[in-house]
Amino acid sequence: MFPKDLLVVSRRKGKIQPNYLDVDDRELAEEVIRVFKNSKNQPYKLLKTMIKELEKGRNDYKIVRALAELVNRKCEFIQGSNLNSKQVRTFLFEKGFVLNEDQRMRVLREAAKHFETTVEEVENAMFADLPREQVLESIPRLTWDELIKQYNLSQTQTLIFNALELIITFQGEFQRIFRMINFFGLIYEIHGNVVKITGPTSIFKKTRKYGTRLAKLVPFIINTQNWSMEAKIDDSYGKSSKIYTFELNSSSKVSFPKKTIRDDQFDSQVERQFYIDFKNFLPQWEIKREPRFIKAGNFVIIPDFGFYRYNLKIYMEVVGFWTESYIKKKIEKFKQLETPVLVALNENLNCSKEDFEGEVILYKDRIPIKPVIKLLREYEETFIQKELDSLQDIEITEDIIDIQQKSVELNISPDVLEKATLPNHFLVGSKLVSKSFLKVLDDEIGEKRAFSEVKKILDKYELTDKALNLLGFEIIWDGLIPVKIKKSE
């Protein structure tokens, strides 16, 4: 973001638009970068002079100044002397005023002797710590197109800083945007896929801080797909003020920098550890970070985790270390939720389980996994029972079939099929086998009693030892080794 005096815009028929740069401005961007390269190991005051020379006679001098500002922010400056400038100044000032050049040189020689250096080094060190005397040590590896893209983004942010309101429209997934809206503490309302954010000039206090937060949201918006934004801009000149409309969307021919966003980020070590525990203890469940947004009146909550199995979708929000006002707002949102959300609540917060709707798990340093396992198993059992209650008579015509394959055909969970009443079939390992097939299997075993022979038959059909039990056989063991079978008495 730029200072407001570097904002360059066009105004026409109630619309306001930053003067964005493109490939036609390549030469100017390269010239600004070249000035910095030529100023390496030189004091900042010389660099500033060279930038002013580049600005001379140009109507677009603000653009030159803004591009230079962006490059300057990425540069590293160092003090051009090894001496401590503050100590040098203190030594010299303690010597009092000098009235002529001879007295001045005498004091400088005394300082040189005291600091064990030369007079020239003392003179150089006197103000070497001031910004204008700092030496340019390194400049960023920056291409002209990267500089132009950053300029376009900064112009947009500077304009949005003065917004009365910002309306964003999305298509598809945009959970990260809501996460950042909440993270920045922005005031918003949601209507379908449209988010209306209150701008800084509509707030009576902390305007600059709020405006900066709103401007920081812009990179996250432009790095999503199929978005549009419309802002009402308070464009003030002295005592006069006029409201303009600013519009921009993902189809606009404006170059912006791409922001790399990691998907594996966690807000805290508590969340990271819980994710690891969940994967270890509940491998049959799928867990996702910030899976979707859930409506809470005109607001949304983006739960920290989503748990998935069968057709079940369970969400969990981790309420950790937050301010009292944030907690109050969070509680109000939970009361308006249209979808149940499991809450992991830090017991050190100034609130209780009763303040939240639904299930609440208290934690201190680590979210306990046992209560989560218990709750999810209850959800599983309830789901399976509902599925069983809604099942009509299941007709299975196959003599032997894999339970996973059959559950897909019937569009039900394998766990439900396992617990279903099947009068003509039995579950043997991962297979459903009919009574008639068991008779065929019994005939195939015949008079064979050596377990090694019988095992080959079972393996052919991918059956477990349970098939032998259903046929009335029992296994005879020699220690830990099965050796033969016999009919049960």
**Phi and psi (nearest 5°) for 298?**
-90, 10
In a domain, 135, yes or no: no
Whether 285 and 356 share a structural domain: yes
In a domain, 360, yes or no: yes
Whether 278 and 368 share a structural domain: yes
| 327/394: higher pLDDT | 394
Q: Given this model, what pLDDT does residue 174 score?
A: 66
**pLDDT (mean) for 267-285:** 87
Residue 356 pLDDT exceeds 60: yes
In a domain, 4, yes or no: no
Q: CATH number for the domain including 247? A: 3.30.70
Domain range for 360: 269-383
Q: Is the pTM of this model over 0.75?
A: no
**pLDDT (mean) for 42-69:** 89
Candidate from 25-39, 246-260, 336-350, 472-486 with smallest mean pLDDT: 336-350
**pLDDT tens, 93-102?**
877 777 788 8
Whether 376 and 277 share a structural domain: yes
**pLDDT (mean) for 250-273:** 76
Above pLDDT 90, what percent of the chain?
A: 17
Residue 108 pLDDT exceeds 70: yes
Where among 252, 277, 309 does a domain terminate? 252
How far, in Å, CA of 285 to CA of 307, rounded? 6
Q: What is the mean pLDDT of the chain?
A: 82
Whether 377 and 441 share a structural domain: no
How far, in Å, CA of 286 to CA of 84, rounded? 59
In a domain, 144, yes or no: no
Whether 305 and 214 share a structural domain: no
Whether 353 and 276 share a structural domain: yes
**pLDDT (mean) for 444-454:** 88
How far, in Å, CA of 393 to CA of 257, rounded? 60
Residue 466 pLDDT exceeds 60: yes
Where among 188, 218, 252 does a domain terminate? 252
In a domain, 33, yes or no: no
Whether 313 and 407 share a structural domain: no
Q: Given this model, what pLDDT does residue 204 score?
A: 47
The number of folded domains in the chain is: 4
In a domain, 417, yes or no: yes
Where among 219, 252, 285 does a domain terminate? 252
**pLDDT tens, 300-346?**
677 788 899 887 888 888 877 555 555 566 666 666 665 677 888 88
Q: CATH number for the domain including 359? A: 3.40.1350
**pLDDT (mean) for 31-57:** 88
Whether 195 and 222 share a structural domain: yes
**pLDDT (mean) for 427-451:** 87
**pLDDT (mean) for 240-254:** 88
In a domain, 25, yes or no: no
**pLDDT (mean) for 24-47:** 89
Judge contact between 266 and 247, C-beta under 8 A: no
Whether 274 and 363 share a structural domain: yes
Whether 360 and 433 share a structural domain: no
Residue type at 361? I
Four-CA torsion 87, 93, 95, 101, nearest 10 degrees: 110
Whether 449 and 376 share a structural domain: no
Four-CA torsion 178, 3, 73, 22, nearest 10 degrees: 80
**pLDDT tens, 288-298?**
887 766 766 66
Whether 273 and 248 share a structural domain: no
Q: Given this model, what pLDDT does residue 332 score?
A: 64
**pLDDT (mean) for 346-354:** 74
Q: What is the SS3 assignment for the chain?
A: CCCHHHCCEEEECCEEEECCCCHHHHHHHHHHHHHHHHCCCCEHHHHHHHHHHHHCCCCCHHHHHHHHHHHHHCCEEECCCCCCHHHHHHHHHHCCCCCCHHHHHHHHHHHHHHHCCCHHHHHHHCCCCCHHHCEEEECCCCCHHHHHHHHHHHHHHHHHCCEEEEEEEECCCCHHHHHHHHHCCCCEEEECCEEEEECHHHCCCCHHHHHHHHHHHHHHHHCCCCEEEEEEEEEEECCEEEEEEEEEECCCCCCCCCCCCCCCCCCCHHHHHHHHHHHHHCCCCEEEECCCCEEECCEEECCCEEEEECCEEEEEEEECCCCHHHHHHHHHHHHCECCCEEEEEECCCCCCHHHCCCCEEEECCCCCHHHHHHHHHHHHHHHHHHHHHHCCCCCCCCCEEEHHHHHHHHCCCHHHHHHCCCCCEEEECCEEEEHHHHHHHHHHHCCCCEHHHHHHHHHHCCCCCHHHHHCCEEEEEECCEEEEEEECC
**pLDDT (mean) for 98-126:** 81
Band of pLDDT at residue 18, cut at 50, 70 and 90: very high
**pLDDT (mean) for 424-437:** 86
In a domain, 418, yes or no: yes
| 26/115: higher pLDDT | 26
Band of pLDDT at residue 263, cut at 50, 70 and 90: very low
Residue 238 pLDDT exceeds 60: no
